[in-house]
Amino acid sequence: MSIVNQTKKTMSTCISNFAKEYDKNNLEVQLLIKSDYEFIPSYYLLINNKNEKQITFNEILNVKIDFLGREMIVKPFISNTLRKLSKEQNCSPSEMNILIYNRNKKDDVSLYFFIDTKPIKAISFDYIFEELSM
């Protein structure tokens, strides 16, 4: 399975797991990636687009320990994407937000880039992992 498909599946499963935990449907649960000044991502759980809590990468994976080192594999791609978006959009890292959400009930996970609360553009998973196709 490709890294893009595996990432989509992981995000979809994460949204489903939190939806069950909070007794919500998948459309009411979102994940948010924020950046610090060094482009290190942090992750948040949103319920109906409102911040519920900060979560760890292991919580996204629904594991206690990431024996496969998936965070170490994915984190550089996310950081590079944040750097690229910051440069393209001429914004500071702390203003950037990437929303991960389901577009429909069939677990069609999508990404959208915001500067603060202003929607800027949809992002594809291929955009995040484009370095792999070079």
Q: What is the pLDDT of residue 133?
A: 56
Q: What is the pLDDT of residue 1?
A: 61
Pairing label, strands 109-115, 41-47: unpaired
- pLDDT per position in the chain (134 positions), as tens? 677 888 888 999 999 999 999 999 999 999 999 999 899 999 999 999 999 999 999 999 999 988 888 888 888 888 999 999 999 999 999 999 999 999 876 668 999 999 999 999 999 888 887 766 55
- Stated pTM of the model: 0.90
Q: What is the pLDDT of residue 132?
A: 62
Cα distance between residue 105 and residue 32, in whole Å: 19
**How far lies 51's CA from each of 7, 84, 89, 134, in Å?**
22, 25, 24, 36
Compute how many other C-beta atoms are within 10 angstroms of the C-beta atom of residue 126. 11
Cα distance between residue 93 and residue 131, in whole Å: 21
Among 47, 73, 45, residue whose Cα is nearest residue 59: 45
Q: What is the pLDDT of residue 66?
A: 85
